[in-house]
Structure 1
Amino acid sequence: MSDWDGLAAPDAAEIEAMARAAMNALPAEFASAAAAVAIQVAEFAPEEMLDELQIDDPFELTGIYDGIPMTQKSVADQPGGPDIIWLFRRPIIDEWATRGDIGLQELVIHVVTHEMAHHFGWSDDDIASIDRWWE
């Protein structure tokens, strides 16, 4: 009998709870802006999204911000729906298992924080300048 017998991977609700805890832990100056962003958890990114991003392997995308960054919003914008942070459960779990050097909650916090930075108008290059996560 192995140590993994009887264990199951976290489901979408557990990943969402980790993400909401990460959002709730943001500093006060970001809390109101963060509260306006919805969180959705799916098994994988939809094919259309992967095609648009030119990603062949669905395991390569752990999360994405879907919305208009705050730096680009205008009072003239007609809301088409809430800004959303999408988290993709299977790629997150796969990265966590493959890395083996961080906890699942820590990885979810990282993905949420990265996508929230996009909500605040940061580019991937801006984020990489202070968060060299891949190293």
Structure 2
Amino acid sequence: MNAPTRNWADLQAPSLDDVEILARDALARLPPEFLALCEGVTIHVEDFPDDATLREMQCESEFDLLGLFRGVGLAQGGEVATGQWHNRVWLYRRPLLDYWAEHEETLGHLVTHVLVHEIGHHMGLSDDDMAAIEAAADE
């Protein structure tokens, strides 16, 4: 049996809005106890990190960073001081798409992985904890 063919000529790369929808869908699938700890964390999608972030993170290329948590994580006390930005997760569309094109996983899985990893930094979780949360989101 032949698999149906897709009209690749009409497809476009996922937009910033598409990646944000994937991230919000991924967030909704995460375990409730994890979500409860994410209260107040916002998700932002940009094409690339800004130059200051690239320098701060010591990136050699604008494609080196898939996502980033900014703020005061629960592991650091979680209190946001006056004048301080609230907790945010940044997802970078073009580096995500570049990584996706070179690996055999779905874009949805990749966005979930990066989102859990960055929020995991917020909560001070171990890599094993984050892997378990990702597995629960995939069920």
Structure 2 length as normaliser, TM-score?
Answer: 0.81
2:34 to 25, 30, 51: 30
| CA distance in 2 between partners of 1:82 and 1:38 (Å) | 8
Indicate if the aligned counterparts of 1:66 and 1:83 stay in contact, CA closer than 8 A. Answer: yes
Q: Which residue does the alignment assign to 1:118?
A: 121
4+ residue runs over 3 A deviation: 74-79, 128-131
Q: Which residue does the alignment assign to 1:59?
A: 63
Shift of the 128–47 alpha-carbon distance from structure 1 to 2, 3 Å rule, reads farther
| CA distance in 1 between partners of 2:78 and 2:106 (Å) | 39
Q: Does 1:46 align with 2:53?
A: no
| CA distance in 1 between partners of 2:29 and 2:130 (Å) | 19
Indicate if the aligned counterparts of 2:72 and 2:80 stay in contact, CA closer than 8 A. Answer: no
1:106 to 98, 102, 109: 109
Indicate if the aligned counterparts of 2:72 and 2:78 stay in contact, CA closer than 8 A. Answer: no
| CA distance in 2 between partners of 1:30 and 1:102 (Å) | 24
Amino acid at match of 2:38: A
Indicate if the aligned counterparts of 1:23 and 1:34 stay in contact, CA closer than 8 A. Answer: no
| CA distance in 1 between partners of 2:69 and 2:24 (Å) | 15
**Which sections of structure 1, spanning at least 5 residues, go unmatched?**
none
**Which sections of structure 2, spanning at least 5 residues, go unmatched?**
1-5, 132-139
Report Cα offsets for 1:17-40 as digits up to 9, x if no partner. 111111111211122222311000
RMSD value, Cα = 2.1
The percentage of aligned residue pairs carrying the same residue is: 33
| CA distance in 2 between partners of 1:114 and 1:89 (Å) | 16
Q: Does 1:21 align with 2:25?
A: yes
Q: Does 1:127 align with 2:127?
A: yes
**How many residue pairs align between the two structures?**
126
